[in-house]
Amino acid sequence: MIILAHESSCDETSAAVIEYDGEKFNIRSNIVASQIETHALYGGVVPEIASRAHIEAISQITYEALETAGVSLSDIDLVAVTANPGLIGALLVGVNFSKALAVANKIPLVAVDHIKGHIAAAYLTEDKPKPPFIALTASGGHTSIYLVEDYNDIKEIGSTRDDAIGESFDKIGRLLGIPYPAGKGFDALAKEGFIKATGDEVRYYSLYKKSAAYKDAAMALPSPALNDGTLDFSFSGLKTAAINLLHRFEQRGEELDHALFAAKYTFEVTEAVAKKIKAALDLYPDADLAISGGVAANSHLRARLSEVAKEKKRNIFIPPISLCGDNAAMIGAAGYFEYLDGNFADGSLNASAEDSLRKI
Ligand code: KG4
Ligand code: ZN
């Protein structure tokens, strides 16, 4: 079965050809045209610019995806497209393109929820999770914990009540002078800070809690893990505290060590996620763990959650960094399961900004 997939929900236009051989998925091509450089000028995604850039890129990257995969449209058995959630104008470009292509070539079409796509990134690796598993999706727009009971039976069991985790790295990173999107630079700066605080180039994360930098009251920050018995987060309190802290240093004319600050901020975020993931694994003792989304590229989070999984004696599935961010291959994998359940779309398919996964 050969699937052509499209993704255009935010600031990457992507087309991919993936194949399911009865046992596993093979990525034949996964072309991603990123608009990051354009949006970096504005410090964030400008929806109108994103829509236009998707329109300009989508035909070309579809040709590239087919050519790289060595297939033509007549070989395609299924077209999958992200239909929600995301920027509505951006989503419409992918939806209309895929719809036209599927209808004109009489190829079955499935609509994919972007978050289901992120979760499905884990299915594209050699060693893939089998439901039931706990999935963390951590990206620029989302921070949620899901119980994946079956491929299409996914319930949200925890989420952020305000800002998303990636958005929080991007906003605070911007104040530290890290270019948008700040996640990757923040990751590196935090590593520098952890090493500086502990003097250890290998065990820096686990030693950090004992360091003077962690205990420094001038650098105190609240945890984004809500202390109310839920699996929910709140990043807005952390953001405000971090902004106030930066202002305080500025007003006093004191120099803040950016690396130590990035380490402290990253530690609070990572520990909060680790705490909620531990609680989720305790609630579902048969479930393994999979993580996905752009923030799943964070080296500290990857290492810490691997440790949590080991401690709880569960398997952890972490996609390679190339599949953590937005890409169409993950949409194709999620689309395969929509196809198996007979969830076909037709010419009436529309894009929507709404999340389709239920919260319990
Ligand atoms: O999944 P994604 O590509 O797009 C969305 O659906 O949002 O995620 C992008 C987010 C950005 O906020 C970016 O700063 C963050 O992922 N990110 C990271 C890292 N690499 C990317 N955050 C923390 N550490 C990283 N290494
Ligand atoms: Zn995404």
| Average pLDDT of every residue of the chain | 95
11 in ligand 1 pocket by Cβ < 6 Å?
no
Is pTM, for the whole model, over 0.85? yes
| pLDDT for the residue 1 | 97
Res. 152: pLDDT tops 70 = yes
Q: Residue 222 Cα, ligand 2 centroid: separation in angstroms? A: 27
- Which two three-digit tokens encode residue 8? 């255009």
How would DSSP label each residue in 297-312? G-HHHHHHHHHHHHHT
Region 193-219: mean pLDDT is 97
pLDDT at 201 over 90: yes
pLDDT of 35 > 90? The answer is no
Q: Nearest 5°: CA angle at 71, between 67 and 72?
A: 90
pLDDT digits (tens, 9 = 90+) for 287-343: 999 999 999 999 999 999 999 999 999 999 999 999 999 999 999 999 999 999 999
Q: Of 184, 291, 318, which is best to mutate to test ligand 1, by the most ligand atoms within 8 angstroms of its C-beta?
A: 184
Of 62, 47, 46, 48, the residue nearest 13 (C-alpha): 62
pLDDT band (50, 70, 90) for residue 360: low
pLDDT in tens, 69-119: 999 999 999 999 999 999 999 999 999 999 999 999 999 999 999 999 999
Nearest CA to ligand 1 atom 10: 140
Q: Residue 195 in contact with residue 240, Cβ under 8 Å?
A: no
**Phi, psi angle pair for 152, to nearest 5°:** -115, 15
Which ranges in 176-257 belong to alpha helices (H)?
A: 183-198, 204-208, 212-215, 236-251
Q: Tell me the torsion sign for CA atoms 62, 324, 289, 9.
A: negative
Whether the CB of 86 sits within 6 Å of ligand 1? no
By alpha-carbon position, which residue is closest to atom 13 of ligand 1?
A: 183
Neighbours of 233 (CB within 10 A): 29
Average pLDDT, integer, range 55-64? 95
Percent of the chain whose pLDDT exceeds 90: 89
